[in-house]
Structure formats: structure tokens, C-alpha cells
Structure 1
Amino acid sequence: MEKSNVEQLFEAIDHLTNTVQDSMNETYLDSLTITLDSLFYQEPPENMDHSLTEKLQLIPDITGYDVVEIRKAVQLAILKGMKGATQQQHLMTPETVAMFAGYLAEKVTKGEENVRVFDPAGGTGNLLMTVVEQLANLQHVAAGEVDQTLIKLAVLNANLQRKEIEFFHQDSLRPFLMDPVDLVVSDLPVGYYPDDIRAGDYQLKADEGHSYAHHLFIEQSMNYTKAGGYLIFVIPEFLFDSDGSDKLHAYLQENAHMIGVLQLPESAFKSDKNRKSILMLQKKGPDTTALKQPLLVQVPSFKNTKAMNDILAQMNHWFSENLNM
């Protein structure tokens, strides 16, 4: 059977990455940054060992691939590098979930001009880039990420896809030099935040011990959203059932309108403990009002085409009735 463009490009990227890994004794992900850099410039980096430079001459020409094919091939390579990763922040948002977040983002920004989008936990950029593929009238796209390897991959990924994104390499719970945005979209990092002094600046800090990073990221996202702007979070299932959830609930009631909660199908995640939902909020402002009936959806398996079409039709109707779209 003939291989697809995505498979062909992934195999070429994988072969080059394995070559770099064998020669430099680096991790697969760090080797992948060298491969993607070579792919973008169509030549190996200048400071490379001569024998490795020779091996990297067979760099595929990417001009024959479209942006989505490049994103998916790079995504496969990143997923290979992340296999067996134990750190939650090294798990990529599943493609189907990212596509669904993009659908929701398109709904809440429809008709808006000069849309500004931000992901405070950008990772390798796959969620953000999948979302902005589906948006029109973009003015500015930005992401924050503290992990050096992940942000390198994100920058190279954006370059290869010819997407203009501003990246902040920093702890995303520190202040950003950035104006508020129309839309925040993020797969929230789950776990404890180690900097108790920094956490002390947040209303959602823990009363004692380390604070939850996922709570602080929600508050930080709200800080950088315009009044009336929207926030779409991929959240852990237990977000509203864990320690500190009372404080989180009170904070959201004071600062945001609940737009919807979508429970994602089990089949989208490798295990129950990784299971997620999507939370949609609108930051309160002088012209905003609470919805009488937020969107509450149990999303069927993405493989069940008929059930998905039914649920999308219901959601399209809900958006047209409730958000005037």
C-alpha cells in the first residue's frame, strides 16, 4: 500500500533523528530539535561534527507538503519521543481533543476581528497550532513554556508550519509582557507548583503547603484575558472534586460565566487517570451576562461518526441559540 505524505515525512524525520541520537548520545526529543532545525533551513546546523553533517545531507524537501501534513508528521515524531514519559507536562494533547478545542474556539470567536490567542502552557505547541488552524481574523498568537526542550520543539514546529507565534520561555505563573487576549486555550498542567512565594500572589493559593499548578494557571489565564473574552481549558476530570475546589468554585463564580463543560470520551485517553474534560468560560465584563443554560455535553467516541454528527448538530444549535452565532 502506498504510504501517505504524513507517513513518508515522519519516516524521514525519524530516520534523521535516530542518526543524530546515535551520533550525539542525546535523548530522542533533543535530537529531534536538531532534525527540525535542519529541516527548516534545509541544511545541517553549522557547528555540527563533520561526520554527522555528512549523514544529515539527505534532508527531505518540505515544500511539497502542506501545513497540516507537516504538523501531523512532527506530532508523530514528538509522540515517539514522549513514549514512556512519566511527567504529565510531557504528554501531548491528543489530536482529536485538540481538533475539538479548535471547533469550540472557532464558535466563540466567530465574527470577531483581530483575534488575540494565548496558551500559557504551550508545551510543543500542538494544541495551540491545531486550534489556530481553525480560526480566522487572527492578529496575534502567543504561548508560554518553561521547559527548554519543549519550547525549542514548539518554535521549530511553528517555523515549519509557517505560523507566526510569539513564545515566552519562562515560568508561566510569573508576569508576562503582553496585553490581554480575546481567547485563552490551554491543556492545564496538573500537579503542585513548587514556588510557594510566587503562589502567594494568587487568590487560588493553597491555605497550607504547595498550591495546585492547575488552579493557579486558571487564575493566571484570567489575568491575561480581556473582559468578555473566552477561556477554553482541557482539565483533569477531578478538577472540581479535589482539595481547594471550593475556593476555585467561588473564584470562578466571582470572575467568570460558565459557558460549558464537555466530558471527553474515555477512548481519547490511554488510561482513566489521564481522562480529561473541556471547560469553557467567559471572563465577566460590563457587557456580559450569565447563560440560563450552559452547554453540558457527554462527548461520544470520536470514532462513532453518527453519534458525533448528532452531538455536533445539537451543539451548533446551542451556539446559535445562546451565543448568537
Structure 2
Amino acid sequence: MEQQIEKLFTWLDETTDMISEEEDVPYLDGLIASSELLFYRDLPEDLESTYYNKLQSQLDMINLSDFEVEVRRKALQLAILKGMKGQTQQHHYITPDTVGMFIGYLVQRFIGDKKEYTLFDPACGTANLLFAVINQQEQKDSLVAYGSEVDPTLIRLAYINTNLQEKQIEYFHQDSLKPILLEPVDVVVSDLPVGYYPDDTTAQAYDLKAEDGHSYSHHLFIEQSLKYTKDGGYLFFVVPSLLFESDQKDQLQSFLKEHAHIVGLLQLPETMFKNENMRKSIFIIQKKGENTRDPKKVMLADLPSFKDAKAMDSVLQQLNQWFKNER
């Protein structure tokens, strides 16, 4: 698989560089064009002949059907990371693969043998987390997915990501904290944008708005996500580990106590972060419903490095025991 990923990434990278240089556009815009070229295999007629021939020659070297879906996702992810390197704001970072895979595992366990369900990421970015989850689900054909993203470049990258993996996802290009034309879903997954939300007028509609100044966007995203989740549905968030140590923690705890069951808080490996203040966790909650209850015991774990197979196996055994006790 590694060789295939490298082969596809090299093609994307070389073709992107060619387009970026010829058309004088940023790398990520060139990547969108090269990915569309790979998917549609259609060259505009009005290109200058030398440039046309170069692109045709690139197309002749490759066929998308030769690559598995996960290979396509990972190759595109590498190209996106290259394009973002050194010039990206914090909220543009891609959720690491290991985290996406682990959340996919958790979704699978909580959904259990449910044959059909709906999935939503309200801050989908390039949709890498969505696909890391989707590609692990056994009931792939009965999974309907949605994503929302305000950034125009990221939503275009999500769209080509979807095409290359030949999946169907409905996207909303909008501020996800404004009303979304979406029926409530069974599962929400999201690597939440962290920081202050600048639109105080929109924030006024939220219970978790700040008393003074800007509200925390990650708090508002939790409230918005619950609004678009069915009663009894599960939500999996990547959040700051210091979530319950902020100046608005009492407000957040009170809101969650009223509307949700806190199911788990799994601290991601400290080796993934430059310092303790930047550390993140996977926060699992369930929206309250008629037949829901607080878990007998909240799922708590301090995850070891994902590279430490023995330690991870020990954690997975603990989680398996938790599911046995709860079901």
C-alpha cells in the first residue's frame, strides 16, 4: 500500500506543480485542478498546445481505478499537507490519521449492529476525518454522510476528496453556526475549531454564548451539533483537554448536564503535541432521549502513543470491558 500511496502522491504533486506554475495559482488551487483532471480525465480544448500535451502525457501515465479508496485518501492528504505547510492557520490543520482511525473504531463500537445511520461533521475541513471514519464502517452502503465548512478552499478540497473516493456526501458551504438545512442525524464527528467566534449577533441565539465579549466557537459547535443530533444519538469531538478548565466551564457543564450524557473523555497521546496546553482529547457524549441514561461509569483513558502496540492493546481491552459492562 505504501508504494501505491507514494505513486499516486507523486503524480498529484508533479501535476499540481505543473498547473500551479503554468497558471500562476497557489499549490492548493493547482491540487484541486489536478485532482479534477484525474477524476474527469477531461482537458479544456483551449489550452496552449505544449501545456495541453504535458497534461495529456500526465494523464496517460495513470488510472484512478488502479488505486484503492484508502490509497486515494492518503495520497491526497499528503498533497494537501504539503500545500498547507508553513502557511496554514491552526483551524486548517488536518486531523491526524491515527485519531481519525480511532474515532472510526469508536463509532463502529457505539453504533453496533445498526444497519443504517446518518453521519455529520459540522466543521469538516477537507473531509479527512469524515473519510477516516466512513472507510472503516462495515455498513458502508447504508451510511449517509453530510459535512459543513465555511472556508471556500477547504470545501473544494472536500469535494474532490469525495470524487476521488467515489463516495456521496452532501456538503453545506456555510458558517456552520448559522441554521443548516439538515434533518437531525444519528452520529456527529468533528475536530472542533477552537477559539473565539467573531459573530456576536449569531452567538446571541445560543445558550452557551459568553456573558461578555466573544463566545467560544468550540462551545457553540457542541450546542449546534446537539441540535442536529437525534435523541439518543452519539457525538464524538476532538476538543482541547483543558475544555473543563476554561472561564466558561460552569456554563458548559450546566448545559451538558441538561441536554446530554457524558459518555467518555479519552486524552490523546501527549507525544502528539508540542506542550501540555495544546493537548487534545476525544470527548464522547450522547444526546438525551426517552430511553437514555447516564453510563454506570464514564469511559476515561489516557491514551498511549498509537505506535506502542502493546499499550494500545491494553487500552482496547479496557474499552471492550467498558462496553460489556454498559450493554
* TM bucket, shorter chain: over 0.9
Gaps in structure 2 of 5+ consecutive residues: none
Q: Which residue of 1 aligns with 2:133?
A: 131
Letter in 1 for 2:34: T
1:227 aligns with 2:231: yes
Aligned partners of 2:46, 2:197: CA distance in 1, in Å? 37
Q: Which residue of 2 aligns with 1:304?
A: 308
DSSP 3-state at the match of 2:108: helix
Q: Which residue of 2 aligns with 1:184?
A: 188
Whether the 8 Å CA contact 2:95–2:129 is kept in 1: the answer is: yes
Aligned partners of 2:187, 2:148: CA distance in 1, in Å? 14
Whether the 8 Å CA contact 2:240–2:280 is kept in 1: the answer is: yes
Q: Which residue of 2 aligns with 1:108?
A: 110
Whether the 8 Å CA contact 2:239–2:281 is kept in 1: the answer is: yes
Whether the 8 Å CA contact 1:255–1:284 is kept in 2: the answer is: yes
Whether the 8 Å CA contact 2:206–2:220 is kept in 1: the answer is: yes
Q: Which residue of 2 aligns with 1:164?
A: 168
Structure 1 residue 240, shift from structure 2 partner? 1.2
Q: Which residue of 2 aligns with 1:83?
A: 85
1:267 aligns with 2:266: no
Give the paired residue count: 322
Give TM-score, length-normalised by structure 2.
Answer: 0.94
DSSP 3-state at the match of 2:261: strand
Structure 1 residue 102, shift from structure 2 partner? 0.5
Give TM-score, length-normalised by structure 1.
Answer: 0.95
Letter in 2 for 1:87: Q
5 Å-filtered alignment, 1:1-325, equals 4-45=3-44, 51-57=50-56, 58-59=58-59, 60-137=62-139, 138-269=142-273, 272-322=276-326, 324=327
Structure 1 residue 50, shift from structure 2 partner? 5.0
Structure 1 residue 287, shift from structure 2 partner? 0.4
Structure 1 residue 132, shift from structure 2 partner? 1.1
Aligned partners of 1:81, 1:273: CA distance in 2, in Å? 27
Whether the 8 Å CA contact 2:230–2:287 is kept in 1: the answer is: yes
DSSP 3-state at the match of 1:89: helix
Aligned partners of 1:96, 1:200: CA distance in 2, in Å? 36
DSSP 3-state at the match of 2:87: coil
Structure 1 residue 29, shift from structure 2 partner? 1.1
- Cα deviation code 1:123-159 (max 9, x no counterpart): 0000001101122433410000011110101011011
- Cα deviation code 1:226-285 (max 9, x no counterpart): 000000000112211112111111111111001100000022345555421000000000
Whether the 8 Å CA contact 2:242–2:277 is kept in 1: the answer is: no
Aligned partners of 2:45, 2:255: CA distance in 1, in Å? 51
Aligned partners of 1:283, 1:81: CA distance in 2, in Å? 38
Structure 1 residue 68, shift from structure 2 partner? 0.5
Letter in 1 for 2:36: D
Structure 1 residue 85, shift from structure 2 partner? 3.4
